Amino acid sequence: MRQYFFVSCLGWEESGRDETYPRSSVSDGKCRLTLWQVDHKLEVNDFHRRRNIGLHHIAFEVATEDDLSENAEKIKKHPKTTIEFMPELVGSGPRKHMMFQEPGGIRIELMWPGS
């Protein structure tokens, strides 16, 4: 299930699981996400941010520029992520962000606020 990316790559903790739905929850201690598993016996369609109604992306703030860089390197090494762009300035800076898709297709932005 998708929680493995959040746990193994981003260092979050699994905070709940229910195989009857099936769903699992992960948390970084501040934010909690509930992740649903699709039924692969049915036709599964990937989310497309320009063709589907739904979550465009979710953004998480990191505390330091080093945190952003360290997370970016871990994410880049994960075999099932798709990097849209590595850390770059937002406008003229100093804020920086990166964008990627986790293995389940959720588009995620990591943002360092530049202060």
**pLDDT of res. 2:** 59
Name the band, by pLDDT with cuts 50, 70 and 90, for residue 3: low
7-22 pLDDT, tens digit per residue, is: 999 999 998 888 888 8
The answer to whether 80 and 103 have CB atoms below 8 angstroms apart is yes
State pTM to two decimals. Answer: 0.83
Judge whether 115 lies within some domain: yes
Task: Say whether pLDDT at 107 is over 60.
Answer: yes
Judge whether 49 lies within some domain: no
Residues 30, 76, single domain; the answer is: no
Residues 34, 61, single domain; the answer is: no
Residue 60 backbone dihedrals phi, psi, to 5 degrees: -125, 135
Domains in the chain: how many in total?
2
Degrees (nearest 5) of the Cα angle 29, 7, 73?
100
Domain with 77, as residue range(s), is 56-115
Rg (CA), the chain: 15
Judge whether 48 lies within some domain: no
Judge whether 31 lies within some domain: yes
Residues 74, 19, single domain; the answer is: no
Residues 63, 115, single domain; the answer is: yes
Please tell me the distance from the alpha carbon of residue 20 to that of residue 1, in angstroms, as a whole number: 14
The CATH number assigned to the domain holding 71 equals 3.10.180.10
32-74 pLDDT, tens digit per residue, is: 998 888 777 888 877 777 887 778 899 999 999 999 999 999 9
Residues 94, 65, single domain; the answer is: yes
84-105 pLDDT, tens digit per residue, is: 999 999 999 999 999 999 988 8
Residues 68, 32, single domain; the answer is: no
The answer to whether 112 and 62 have CB atoms below 8 angstroms apart is yes
